[in-house]
Structure 1
Amino acid sequence: MELRVLRYFLTVAREGSITKAANFLHVTQPTLSRQLRDLEQILGKKLFIRSSHSISLTEEGILLKKRAEEIVYMVDKLETEFSSMKEMVSGDVYIGGGETDAIRHIAQIIKELQKKYPNIRYHLYSGNEEDVTDRLDRGILDFGILIEPADLSKYNHLNIPAKDLWGVVMKKDSPLAAKDTITATDLLHLPLICSRQAMNRSYSKNEIADWFGENLDKLNVVTTYNLAYNAAIMVEEGIGYAITLDKIANTSEESALCFKPLEPKIESGLSLVWRKHQVFSAAADIFLKAVQAEFIRR
């Protein structure tokens, strides 16, 4: 299976038309159609549902699209990394992580690196721990920022000199908004919007589940979320109260929302992680050395 044919396949999937894809690729329609038929024969599966005016993917085609995107992405990334091995260091650094104000520490390091290495580009991916570690394991990301509790056993890691404060985001006209802090008892019987990871007892160390203790099973969790931005919208619409980290949702004076910390206070540590025995590009290696120098100094 040739990489060129995979690129043809992805173009057809994107355009939804042999004609449009052929024009985009600057090949003839018969040539493109033949390449697609050969691909289906190689795989032994029908990849397209063809009609007189359009073309769509079968279930097998959808699976191939996902895998082909990963393959093409990795090849392009590899070519970029090799082309960056010149006297003037350039290239790409891929960083994934959950929503956290600690990204400011990473931003400050990037800002300093830009002065010396202006040709290095940085790509940020937002997701929960499962998303980030999956991309790390597949080599799509160079680094991940994980919020405790997290399984660090299969990664090299470096503690980030910052902690995230847990609390509740609510509407400013909520009865609880008059309180300085929020206890577990305050939240019983209220509609709650919770992170799936934070409420998972399967983690060996889970501060939020432990904080609720025996009350955990009594909670009225109406919505779960991966990203706090979506949780904040739910709060704005009156769905419930979101248990989340500080400085993620907009709780400025102009916002209809406010943040109240939990009592007793819960703070989560953060770690920068990367795969063990990872072979970095020149750009990623420079970034890691800068992070190590800055964080160890602190």
Structure 2
Amino acid sequence: MDVKQLIYFTEVAKQQSFTKAATILHVTQPTLSKVVKQLENELKTILIDRSQRISVLTDAGEVVYEHALKIIQMVDEVHLVLDDLENLKKGQIKIGMPPLIGILFFPEIMLAFQKKYPDITITLDEIGANIVKERVFNGQLDGGFVMLPAHEEDFDLLPFTTETVQLIVHKEHPLAQRKSVTMHDLKEEKMLLFSDDFTLHDRILAECQHAGFEANIAFISSQWDFISQMVEHNLGIALFPQSIAKKANTQLINIIDVTPVIPWEISFITKKGRYKSHAMLKFLQFISNHYSTTASTL
């Protein structure tokens, strides 16, 4: 058994497809199938059920998958430690960030951080917060910015900024002249939501349920500007973090407070117990010193 076999096997498990996994790993499907079969032969058990349309793990496969992730993470950490020993002033960081946070904060963060640490390279994975959490936990990312909640038993949290969620409506909408609304006021409204890989998607649905109704979802998108344009055409309402709401076209859109307040809390997460490289520690220190208490005023 070698690490390559485990990497190939875990990718098939994540994608539930040999074809998709082969594309991501940049190998041919026959090569990937051969490597996984070799692993099964060495372990003398079937790890993946190939009889279905998608490739699913057997009971033995589930056990091997959990241990394989830990082994791969340990090997990655060995490489990180050795890289740190070779050159403490250089390094690479892989972080995840939802597009909403990226639009608001990432350019200024990068400008200031690279000015101070020009030899540290940051690779950005721009994805929804729910996927950021999953990839940080699995070791695919060193850390990431997410909207809370995040399981504190799994992650170390560095608070970044807190805002409130606001309602945006067309100026001709019946609620347009209100200074504030409750979630119950939105019971009959057509809602334009972010896609379900955004934590805000889940939070809004939960707030609707808490107010005693199921959200009437008219449209879902991962692009805030597209959702805003839909509101401009009076095709529905949307709930945005305050900084994003301010970017809306106020010639056509009114911004309204929501009560009780729905917080939009952003933290930078890293996996508990995982080795942090020299570069990663510098980034955490930088965020803590320069942004964790001032980001909301940027």
Note whether the superposition's TM-score is higher than 0.5: yes
Taking a change above 3 Å as real, the CA distance of residues 35 and 106 of structure 1, as seen in their structure-2 partners, is closer
Structure 1 regions of 5+ residues with no counterpart?
Answer: 23-28, 51-55, 201-207
Q: Which runs of structure 2 are paired with 1:100-249 in the superposition (5 Å)? A: 100-101=100-101, 104-105=104-105, 107-125=107-125, 126-128=127-129, 130-148=130-148, 152=152, 155-160=155-160, 162-170=161-169, 172=170, 175-176=173-174, 178-179=176-177, 181-184=179-182, 186-193=185-192, 195-200=201-206, 208=207, 216-218=211-213, 220-222=215-217, 227=222, 229=224, 232=227, 235=230, 240-248=236-244
Q: Is the Cα–Cα contact under 8 Å of residues 120 and 283 in structure 1 kept in the other structure?
A: yes
Q: Is the Cα–Cα contact under 8 Å of residues 158 and 271 in structure 1 kept in the other structure?
A: yes
Query: Partners in 1 of 2:272 and 2:69 — Cα distance?
Result: 21
> 1:286, CA displacement in angstroms?
0.8
Query: Partners in 2 of 1:191 and 1:73 — Cα distance?
Result: 45
Pairwise CA RMSD: 4.9
Matched residue, 1:204: none
Q: Which has the larger radius of gyration?
A: 1
Matched residue, 2:287: 291
> 1:293, CA displacement in angstroms?
1.9
The counterpart of 1:21, out of the listed 25, 28, 37, is: 28
Taking a change above 3 Å as real, the CA distance of residues 238 and 15 of structure 1, as seen in their structure-2 partners, is farther
Q: Which runs of structure 2 are paired with 1:248-267 in the superposition (5 Å)? A: 248=244, 252-253=248-249, 258=253, 260-264=255-259, 266=261, 267=263
Taking a change above 3 Å as real, the CA distance of residues 269 and 136 of structure 1, as seen in their structure-2 partners, is same
Query: Partners in 2 of 1:240 and 1:40 — Cα distance?
Result: 52
Q: For residue 44 of structure 1, give the secondary structure of its aligned residue in structure 2.
A: coil
Structure 2 regions of 5+ residues with no counterpart?
Answer: 13-17, 194-200
Q: Deviations over 1:219-254 (max 9, x none)?
A: 54336969564982894697632223244479554x
Matched residue, 1:205: none
Q: Deviations over 1:164-212 (max 9, x none)?
A: 2312244x47524743645126423112245223433xxxxxxx56xx9
Q: Deviations over 1:43-100 (max 9, x none)?
A: 52275969xxxxx974349x89x98996897456753563354346222223334454
TM-score, with normalisation over the residues of structure 2? 0.62
| Aligned-partner residue type, residue 79 of structure 1 | H
Identity of aligned residues (%): 18
TM-score, with normalisation over the residues of structure 1? 0.62
| Aligned-partner residue type, residue 189 of structure 1 | E
- Aligned residue pair count: 267
